[in-house]
Structure 1
């Protein structure tokens, strides 16, 4: 046994182990900075990886400056953070000196979260029976930082003190830190034994000075360390991370095997929903929101995920609260109507160009009986499906009736008054500067309605997916989609099954009522829809929520964001919808989908499959076309084929469709630039212009037809001419808006 009186030990990967790669601690702090101080960052720092790389660069520069001064390439937390904050924000982050202390504290807390005590090191140190024991570490924090970590992991060895490279600008790799230690403690090298894991810093370097060394190698821990290194390198290569969720705990007891299967399916696909809500929270933090409003009904499920994330504090900073906003298209459309005109109702008819007056009044949640006399006066059959109602002579005459307009306006204003009271109870008033809404998709109609009601409030909307907008977008809205626009068709072309997975049994909101100075939300439930939820979807959603603790632990351990998980989550969603479990397809085809807004009814998803047509499609191109049209009309082709046991046909269908989408398949949205937004807006406005021109041509054709049979009705012709003029005015407004957007686009391209 050595006769040395002094023993020193290394800290990292000797006494203290990490459950992640060391640089993921730096990524954690970089993520914190990126989210909390996002509005101060220079535009070149597009994600938290950019901040991490800048930190590494500054560490190298400060270390080099230290070496030029005759020391080793060492640096302290505080000076790196000071330089980093200044570099990434041009010095605009307020109270940056306080922020430096905040970041050091954040890094310490994350170190505590991921660190644990090596299981064998204490026995080794005790076996040496040294009189005096010290730690000697190459690290960029101070001694107090390390002592807090040793206490946190429960290190029970009594030590006399410690030396850290950053405090004296000397390190173990050069041997100078050991020499400094010997001078401070008045000892010779041959009196000193050192324990550590690094072959260079803890073995070769001290041995050159005559220090006795023990190379510490813990095989099990080193395998974990190597695995963390490999994962980190893969992550840094593509800015992505693969999450693997464990199987459900066998102790979970469910009444039937089908429930257990649904629970496991939920676990396997939970990353889809958690990644979406993570992105929502991250965007809200970056924009400085303190509350996120989740819209019913799917928002009730998203809110549960939000609260799991809050409970597990995976970002290390204060996150926005969650609140349910009980709304629907039916409950918000009528209050959003400002004037009773044909143009105002185009927001409805642009989506449902064929509609009966019965469906029209159901979309407004207004009793048609109160307007029956007006319909009789103009010989309008309430059940008749009218194509292009705004061009129909009877409907036009109805909307020129002042008494009808006044009565309808009175009903609409009453609904608006109640909705405003409900929103006020939720903390939203006409004076609210901005609100953050979350819904499942798909065009943001409810957000449009809310934005038209609160027209001086900025309304930010976030969605799983968005399709091309049909209506002109309110100027006070922004809409962001989790799934990129260019892959929506290949990933989420049919939305009904996904809506089913996110649905709740709370009922659809139809209106608001005043009940003793409190607004009561009136809802309607469909028994068949609720039955599907209670028999199937509840267990699927429970499975999703059950991965919360495990997933958030992984996210916090490795300092991940939604962008790191996005590729995996979108791929998982695509597979879920294209190769669905049969039990989910059974749930879907038992469902009645609520289409009260627009169609005025629930739409049954049950279908009778044409097996004979399937056989004939084998030899006939015409029958293949008919078969494809049939399964497309089911609202979930892959679900229908799996449900009917036609797995082989489903694989053929997926292969066929993938060829159609291969040019865009696999592109994941990681955030769009202003340039892309402008391009998209120009495209949308051009499309709207084309629709207006088409409507104008249709109107012109109708005028010619009327002229042939109604030569004496000059007044009617004059009204048609005025309508043409109004349409031309709209077209000119569109032309002007497109010119402005194209000018901005040219400016971006030239800039």
Structure 2
């Protein structure tokens, strides 16, 4: 016997595979209703028999498998499924069968269901006490997904199909996980989708993930590259301090000091020269020659102060620096060869971004050693004006979401919360401060966990691990949606990612994000200085509210939670009026809007074979072990970050779009550059909401007629 032209054995196998795939999908998308779960457990505790009945076309074993996944199967004493009994709730016959099989008076049965006809009307017609379970939140979500499914060929629908999958699933979840799943997940996943697209477009050989943020970003990249259709990824020791030391050629210059300034707000000789790890006694001796101490706070304008200049030009100091530089250059060149960066013709480096300083330092160091690739491309979530000034055709930088040279409303807000996007994907290990050699192989040396800054960071690591778990789970949902809706392009995710940047930066709810506002992070060049993201938010307005907003690195977060929506608009208008230039002025100084170009292979100064087949990704293994340990602790701490009611995503999108319009009106009146909008479609949101309200109204009228 043939079925659709397929032999019976093959047909049986095909049917089994289809059923297993459907079960997989059901298990992935179904969530437990916490209220019903509690009710069932309460009934069982009172020795009340609980059974389930379903008009399901699949066998009971499939339902049992789903219930078992959620640890609910043992609560049910009886199971009645239409596919096995050949009877339906829809006709009422299944209720007759249950009454007879259970040998009970129908009046002693309480039947609960969500279908007004099958579960309420038909059960009551058999003498059963029927209860129609109506949940407006659930029904709204159901009709929202229905609208998105009907409009799946519209690019605007895809983000909502993703958003609604897990937004109301808070059972067993904490705020850190939910922030990662619902808001930061779309940001980083859409970023990595763009990274993969750019890597294929430029035909790069390998993708190298830098800094501590690279660990989580590589995990997302690998998750989305399970079919291995994109270039290989490598997590390398590409910290600021390693790349900085690699870029130094002949002692300390003004460029090197400028790189160090952003590393600390406390200007002392010891802090400014911390990257060079000069012996404390030698450095103090050099400073005392010029009447200073290494720990003295330097005066304003110290770059032109004669004692400081004499110290920087000191021969002994520069000899000490060059000893450190030459030793580091040899080790780092060997490490980059092991990792495969040296010897790669076209390489891409990936980081969260801002100025692309690590990439520039790496490229400069590779030039010094004569081993730069033909093309080095940096792919970043965001780039500021400094990145535009420094990029070159063969040392290119590309921003996917946020660029100071382009005023996209959502992406632009990332520059107001730089710290958040770095800390959120930070690996659970110390900064890489140096390198060491073991049996001809070079390995990274990490900052000790006993230092003050690491002690501070380790306190936050469990919460960040939970947040990253949420981000990875979102990537899984994205991958699943791609399978369910093959007509949808991965790039459809980007408007959602852009909108989420704005939602995090401008409309973060204190009840979910307060822990993130207090996270400590060290982006150091050898110092022990800890940055903190935001400020403590107390309830209500106080006279020092404006002062708190002014001093906070996360100004919109404070404004939204202290002053409300109108307060946020006022602060946004004030800040952008002060920072956005006049229309006749450029957005960034001397931007280079050309395209990346490879150097001619003939012009290459090197020919280094890249034998990294056996490259031991030591750093990734350390990061993985640290993450697993932190994640385990993070789940235990979940009760400290209990989830609260989530803002409606439709409401937040409305807030965001209205703020964008108001800010643009004011900027237009002052003849300033205007923002443009590439986030989620507000028009689609309105149509979707109207559809949901109509469906809810029809349900209500139907219930009135039936009852």
Normalising by structure 2, what TM-score? 0.54
Residue in 2 that maps onto 1:454: 366
Q: Structure 2: how far apart are the matches of 1:395 and 1:230?
A: 66
After TM superposition, give the deviation of residue 548 of structure 1 in Å. 2.7
Distance 1:405 1:594 in 2: 27
Counterparts of 2:354 and 2:557 in 1: how far apart (Å)? 20
> In the alignment, what sits opposite 1:572?
500
**Structure 1: distance between partners of 2:308 and 2:397:** 33
How far apart, CA to CA, are the structure 2 residues paired with 1:425 and 1:473?
A: 28
Pick the aligned partner of 1:550 from 456, 473, 477. Answer: 477
Per the alignment, do residues 664 and 635 of structure 1 end up closer, same or farther by CA in structure 2, a change over 3 Å counting? closer
- 1:533 is aligned to 461
Q: 1:417 aligns with which of 330, 338, 345?
A: 330
The higher radius of gyration belongs to 1
Q: Does the CA contact (< 8 Å) of 2:416 and 2:505 recur in 1?
A: no
Q: 1:349 to 1:532 in 2, by over 3 A?
A: closer
Partner of 1:467: 384
After TM superposition, list the pairs within 5 Å mapping 1:9-88 onto structure 2.
none
Q: Which residue of 1 aligns with 2:310?
A: 397
Residue 585 of structure 1 corresponds to which residue in structure 2? 513
The Cα of 1:560 is off from its aligned counterpart by 4.3
Specify which of 176, 197, 202 is matched with residue 262 of structure 1.
176
**Per-residue CA distance 1:457-505 (angstroms, 9 max, x = gap):** 2321111111110796264411111223234543441211222222221
Deviation, structure 1 residue 579: 2.0
Work out the CA distance in 2 between the residues paired with 1:580 and 1:454. 42
> 3-state SS of the aligned residue for 1:385?
coil
Partner of 2:289: 377
Secondary structure in 2 aligned to 1:286? Answer: helix
In the alignment, which of 433, 436, 439 is matched to residue 348 of structure 2? 436
The alpha carbon displacement at 1:329 in A equals 1.0
Q: State the distance in 2 between where 1:286 and 1:606 align.
A: 38
Is the 8 Å Cα contact of residues 349 and 388 (structure 1) preserved in structure 2? no
Give secondary structure in 2 for the equivalent of 1:681. coil
1:502 partner SS: coil
Q: 1:302 aligns with which of 203, 213, 217?
A: 217
- Give the number of the structure with larger relative contact order, counting CA–CA contacts within 8 Å between residues 6 or more apart: 2
**Where does structure 2 lack aligned partners over 5 or more consecutive residues?**
6-56, 58-144, 581-585, 595-707
Q: 2:517·2:535 contact (CA, 8 Å) conserved in 1?
A: yes
Within 2, Cα distance between the matches of 1:516 and 1:246? 53
Give 2:34's aligned residue: none
Please state how far the C-alpha of 1:609 moved relative to its aligned partner.
6.7
How large is the Cα RMSD of the aligned pairs? 4.0
Question: 2: CA distance between counterparts of 1:465 and 1:484?
Answer: 6
Equivalent residue for 1:637? 555
Which of 413, 420, 423 lines up with 1:490 in the alignment?
413
Which secondary structure does the structure 1 equivalent of 2:424 belong to? helix
Does structure 2 retain, via aligned residues, the 8 Å contact 1:336–1:452?
yes
Q: Which of 652, 655, 673 in structure 1 is aligned with 2:567?
A: 652
**Residue 670 (structure 1) aligns with:** none
SS in 2 for 1:479: strand
Q: Is the 8 A contact 1:331 1:365 kept in 2?
A: no
How far has the Cα of 1:568 moved from its partner?
1.9
Alignment of 1:244-323 (within 5 A): 244-248=162-166, 254=172, 259-269=173-183, 270-311=185-226, 313=227, 318-323=229-234
> Do the aligned partners of 1:462 and 1:480 also contact (CA within 8 Å) in 2?
yes
- Contact conserved, 2:223 with 2:475, CA < 8 A, in 1? yes
TM-fit CA distance, 1:382: 1.4
Cross-structure match for 2:439: 516
**Change in CA separation of 1:453 and 1:405 when aligned onto 2, cut-off 3 Å:** same
* Cα distance in structure 2, aligned partners of 1:602 and 1:306: 29
Displacement after TM superposition at 1:265 (Å)? 3.0
Q: How many residues get paired?
A: 430
For the Cα contact (< 8 Å) 1:291–1:322, is it kept in 2?
yes
**Partner residue in 2 for 1:355:** 267
SS in 2 for 1:355: coil
The answer for unaligned runs of 5 or more in structure 1 is 1-7, 10-118, 120-223, 618-626, 666-674, 684-751
CA distance in 2, matches of 1:413, 1:583: 51
After superposition, give the CA deviation of every residue in 1:357-395 in whole Å (9 maximum; x if it has no partner): 111122334444333222221223212234444322123
Q: 1:323, CA displacement in angstroms?
A: 1.2
1:445 and 2:357 aligned: yes
* Distance in 1 separating the partners of 2:526 and 2:444: 21
Counterparts in 2 of 1:145-160, with a 5 A limit?
none
Alignment check: 8 A CA contact 1:418 1:513 kept: yes
- Answer whether contact 1:578 1:654 (CA < 8 A) is retained: no
Aligned to 1:502: 425
1:345 positional shift: 2.3
The CA distance in 2 between the partners of 1:538 and 1:496, in whole Å, is 17
Matched position secondary structure for 1:440: strand
Q: Deviations over 1:146-170 (max 9, x none)?
A: xxxxxxxxxxxxxxxxxxxxxxxxx
Q: Is the 8 A contact 2:353 2:383 kept in 1?
A: yes
